[in-house]
Structure 1
Amino acid sequence: MTKILKTKRKVRFQDCDPFNHLNNSKYLEYFINVREDQIAEHYDLDIFEYMRTTGLSWVVASNQISYVRPAFTMETVSIESQLIQYSENLLLVEMKMWNENETELKAILWIKFIPYNVQTKKAASHSDDLMKLFESVVVPIDQSIFENRYIEIIQQLKSRTYA
């Protein structure tokens, strides 16, 4: 099963600021929308159907994002996502936005999801089936602090550029 999921999207005019850069808040929308599409396509997990049938979904507990380079109006970007940590009551997903050729990093995001029971309106736990799915797709990383991971990625990119 594919662990690092990639999708291309075009940056739309209505999502940009007067400088023709993707608006900061829109990065989150692009990331979330792509992740929803990716897990439906690659893991056969439609989160809306899952919520309808089980009463369980996920809520965003936190976002940590660094903007590296602007994404421009009508630019095609590549968005990748990977599960980097999970437990019975948490998912941590790392997402990166690149230029189309994946040579220029635009942004990096860590998004923390909490399973949530929409009927009881309380936090929930992941099922055994979901835990098995997460085990099969997780890509653990060495860094547990976002800022350190950001520095690590930037250093990797610089060494790749100068190699």
Structure 2
Amino acid sequence: MTNFSRFTTNHKVRPDDIDMFNHVHNSKYLDYVLAARYEQMDTHYGMSMEKFLELGYGWVVQKVEIAFKRPLGLGDHYSVTTGLVDINNRGCKVSFEIKNLKNNKLSADGWFDFVMIDLKTGRGVEVSDEMIAKYSI
């Protein structure tokens, strides 16, 4: 079993993230993870989303599971820590944790299953050995 690196990105809850119950809307947590992965692909793996797009590929969510623990509120600073659980020629699984930085308590955790697609056809394609190597750090 491979142990993959985990990376953390910090952000702050914005006013447009808040729902009618005065905390972050559940859909925003998924946005937080996707934004963190986007940044981490560029800064830590050396193969950004733009590079995949240049090659004619994209990553799409096949499955996602999220467990909500504690709500985030307006102005809260939070961290998103992500890391690969597995990567192979069919796609990858990424786990995540979102923590409120004021108390370091878990707000949500879970995982995403991603598949790589050909942007022209919209069909799944194999992840190359070179891509797997770049992300297997």
Does the TM-score normalized on the shorter chain lie above 0.5? yes
Q: SS of the counterpart of 1:33? A: helix
In the other structure, the counterpart of 2:7 is 5
- Please list the CA deviations of residues 34-90 of structure 1 after superposition, one character each: whole Å capped at 9, or x if unmatched: 1101111111222123212x1112111011000000011110001100001111012
CA contact (8 A) 1:8 1:79 kept: yes
In the other structure, the counterpart of 1:73 is 74
User: Quick one: distance in 1 between partners of 2:103 and 2:60?
Assistant: 29
Structure showing greater radius of gyration is: 1
Correspondence for 2:18 among 16, 19, 22: 16
Contiguous gaps of at least 5 residues in structure 2: none
User: Quick one: distance in 2 between partners of 1:96 and 1:102?
Assistant: 14
In the other structure, the counterpart of 1:41 is 43
In the other structure, the counterpart of 1:59 is 60
RMSD of Structure 2 on Structure 1 (CA): 1.5
Contiguous gaps of at least 5 residues in structure 1: 138-163
In the other structure, the counterpart of 1:113 is 114
Residue type of the partner of 2:108? A
CA contact (8 A) 1:78 1:102 kept: no
Which fold has the larger relative contact order, with Cα–Cα distance below 8 Å and residues 6 or more apart in sequence? 2
In the other structure, the counterpart of 1:148 is none
User: Quick one: distance in 2 between partners of 1:127 and 1:102?
Assistant: 41
Task: Provide the TM-score with structure 2 as the length reference.
Answer: 0.91
**Higher helix residue share:** 1
**Higher strand residue share:** 2
Task: Provide the TM-score with structure 1 as the length reference.
Answer: 0.77
Q: SS of the counterpart of 2:71? A: coil
Matched ranges for 1:62-101 at <5 A: 62-100=63-101
